[in-house]
Amino acid sequence: MNVKTLVITTVLSGLSVLGWTQNKITLNADLGKDTIHPHIYGHFAEHLGSCIYGGIYVGENAKIPNQEGIRTDLIQALRELKVPQLRWPGGCFADTYHWKDGIGPKSSRPAIKNVWWGGVTEDNSFGTHDFLNFCEAIGADPYLAGNVGSGTVQELADWVKYTNHESGSPMTDLRKENGREKPWKAKMWGVGNEVWGCGGNMKPEYYANIYRQYATFMTDWVNSDRLFRVASGANVADYHWTEVLMRDIPHHMLEGVALHHYSFVEWEKKGSATQFTEEQYFKTMKTALRMDELVTRHSTIMDKYDPARKIALVVDEWGGWYEVEPGTNPGFLYQQNTMRDAMIAGVTLNIFHKHASRVRAANIAQMVNVLQAVLLTNEEKIIRTPTFHVMEMYNVHQGALHLPIDLQCNEYKVGVEMLPAISASASRDKSGRIHISLVNIDPNSSQDLKLDLRGWKVSTVQGRLLTSDKVQDYNTFERPDKIKPIPFKGANLKNNELTLQLPPVSVVVLELK
Ligand code: AHR
């Protein structure tokens, strides 16, 4: 290194220590090879609190406008969002759910106790037909979670026949008797949920054997169902779990391996969803950004057994988890949704894009009124949360070609700890437009950013911005549009280089043509 280079490097690293690193993104528009699978934008609806009952399903005789019992305001909102895939009926509930309780005349369905969530009565009025018709109404692919913990192989095999086969079995006759002639052809099936915990407290070696047995009978052999079967995956950083599944399950029986990871302040002391300190915000973002490390390390193990990446990593539960809203049932997991959640959504989806070759499905937990919900309802009212807006702004990435980027950015510091202030991702859609999603998680500083566009000539740029004064801000039933996307006019284009400023706690999605 000569003296001049040494001086420049020293000055630059000094500036970086002082927080003056220039934020810079180099976008490699000619280097994309992986498609961002739309299913990464999947949702999750469990029989938990008011997610299904009240949130999605109100019944045909309700005053709230509905289509076969499903709220029409919700259907409209979910169509805006372009929900590609929806997981149901749980969660922990799935391993207590017996699907035959939820078919046939509603008045003769048995009522059960929801032992996982609040001990409330579950009358089974929302069942298989309701769920699969709901998926059709919103244009989402269904993802059914089978009961392994307390069910039987026969029960799950019957469910596949009931939903997917044309004719030729008592199950197909039963479906027709219940008013549905044509099968729904549901491809995606979970074989148990969290079987290391609420799904049966199993060891991975035992579960791998059980999985093989269940997966064998989830097909009719003659006319293969071509299911996408997902093994119940690791809890956060349980890498041994992934190793055993990849080693012990024959790969022709396995299309996906799940992973669950939630963001929180401290698991034992989650804190309020809305009244949190900057330190608590920082800790939440640190767990959210850990998704990158988790996905990388689980993928590395999968690569060892499946170098061609045929088996998907399916992050079928992710999102922020806080204390419930004061005065609500602790078993219902109802929480508000602030700009902190918008930050979690923005960075998490960017991480999934980066790993598009392995992460080919994911599910935010959950769709309505539970955990990091995109929609909150109160009787006839419905509001879109900041998380809704991020997922709607980002839906331009669904099915697009992921474009790799090099990102150099400032740190967001609290005390002695630091996180990258900016998260970014880019893709090119089928019509040739490039979209760049940018997140500034720093609640105190805006970020000036330069974007160098390699391998592509840009002529126009437009964008949308989601931000608010405070990271604790949220939408209420009284002020449903306090936080919503607005046009972003701050991008300047010169010589194929873009300069812009990201406000504190903001999400920007740019469209380049
Ligand atoms: O999403 C809430 C619960 O979190 C799910 O039921 C379970 O799978 C997970 O532990």
Please report where in the chains the tokens 């149901």 appear, as a residue.
Answer: 88
Quote the DSSP letter at residue 323: P
Q: Could you tell me the pLDDT band of residue 4, with boundaries at 50, 70 and 90? A: very low
CA of 324 to the centre of ligand 1 (A): 15
Q: Using DSSP, state whether 418 is helix, strand or coil.
A: strand
Q: Is the CB of 91 under 6 A from ligand 1?
A: yes
Q: Is the CB of 387 under 6 A from ligand 1?
A: no
Mind listing the pLDDT tens digit for each residue in 158-180? 999 999 999 999 999 999 999 99
Q: Is the CB of 46 under 6 A from ligand 1?
A: yes
Catalytic choice (122, 194, 255, 392): 194
Q: Is 90 exposed, middle or buried, given 0-12, 13-18 or 19+ CB atoms closer than 10 A?
A: buried
Nearest-CA residue for atom 4 of ligand 1: 91
Q: Is 75 exposed, middle or buried, given 0-12, 13-18 or 19+ CB atoms closer than 10 A?
A: middle
Mind listing the pLDDT tens digit for each residue in 330-362? 999 999 999 999 999 999 999 999 999 999 999
Ligand 1: atom nearest CA of 365 is: 1
| Nearest-angstrom CA–CA distance, 390 and 319 | 13
Ligand 1: atom nearest CA of 193 is: 8
Query: What is the sign of the dihedral through the CA atoms of 380, 386, 387 and 391?
Result: positive
Q: Is the CB of 316 under 6 A from ligand 1?
A: no
CA of 165 to the centre of ligand 1 (A): 30
Nearest-CA residue for atom 9 of ligand 1: 91
CA of 91 to the centre of ligand 1 (A): 5
Q: Could you tell me the pLDDT band of residue 18, with boundaries at 50, 70 and 90? A: very low
CA of 163 to the centre of ligand 1 (A): 25
Catalytic choice (317, 325, 392, 417): 317
Structure tokens at 504: 């504190």
Helix axes 153-164, 128-138, angle to 10 degrees: 40
CB 372 within 8 A of CB 378: no
CA of 366 to the centre of ligand 1 (A): 9
Give residues with Cβ within 8 angstroms of 33, minimum separation 6: 357, 401, 402
| Nearest-angstrom CA–CA distance, 226 and 255 | 10
From the list 451, 512, 494, 490, the residue with the least C-alpha distance to 24 is: 451
Ligand 1: atom nearest CA of 366 is: 1
Q: Is 323 exposed, middle or buried, given 0-12, 13-18 or 19+ CB atoms closer than 10 A?
A: middle
Ligand 1: atom nearest CA of 197 is: 10
Share of the chain above pLDDT 90, in %: 93
3-state secondary structure 438-449: EEECCCCCCEEE
pLDDT higher than threshold 60 for residue 66: yes
Structure tokens at 156: 């799950």
Pocket test for ligand 1, best of 260, 321, 322, 332 (most atoms within 8 A of CB): 260
Mind listing the pLDDT tens digit for each residue in 211-241? 999 999 998 766 577 899 999 999 999 999 9
Q: Using DSSP, state whether 501 is helix, strand or coil.
A: strand
Q: Output the average pLDDT for the chain.
A: 95
Mind listing the pLDDT tens digit for each residue in 373-412? 999 999 999 999 999 999 999 999 999 999 999 999 999 9
Q: Could you tell me the pLDDT band of residue 124, with boundaries at 50, 70 and 90? A: very high
Nearest-CA residue for atom 7 of ligand 1: 91
CA of 244 to the centre of ligand 1 (A): 22
Pocket test for ligand 1, best of 92, 232, 235, 314 (most atoms within 8 A of CB): 92
Pocket test for ligand 1, best of 87, 198, 259, 370 (most atoms within 8 A of CB): 198
Nearest-CA residue for atom 8 of ligand 1: 91
| Nearest-angstrom CA–CA distance, 422 and 473 | 20
Nearest-CA residue for atom 2 of ligand 1: 91
Q: Is the CB of 92 under 6 A from ligand 1?
A: yes
From the list 457, 483, 458, the residue with the least C-alpha distance to 470 is: 483
Nearest-CA residue for atom 5 of ligand 1: 91
Q: Is 194 a catalytic residue?
A: yes
Ligand 1: atom nearest CA of 333 is: 2
Q: Is the CB of 335 under 6 A from ligand 1?
A: no
pLDDT higher than threshold 90 for residue 105: yes
Q: Is the CB of 193 under 6 A from ligand 1?
A: yes
Amino acid letter for position 52: I
Ligand 1: atom nearest CA of 371 is: 1
CB 387 within 8 A of CB 335: no
pLDDT higher than threshold 80 for residue 74: yes
pLDDT higher than threshold 70 for residue 2: no
Q: Is 205 a catalytic residue?
A: no
Q: Is the CB of 463 under 6 A from ligand 1?
A: no
Q: Could you tell me the pLDDT band of residue 21, with boundaries at 50, 70 and 90? A: low
CA of 92 to the centre of ligand 1 (A): 6
The strands making up 461-467's β-sheet, listed across from edge to edge, are: 401-403, 422-428, 434-440, 506-512, 461-467, 486-488
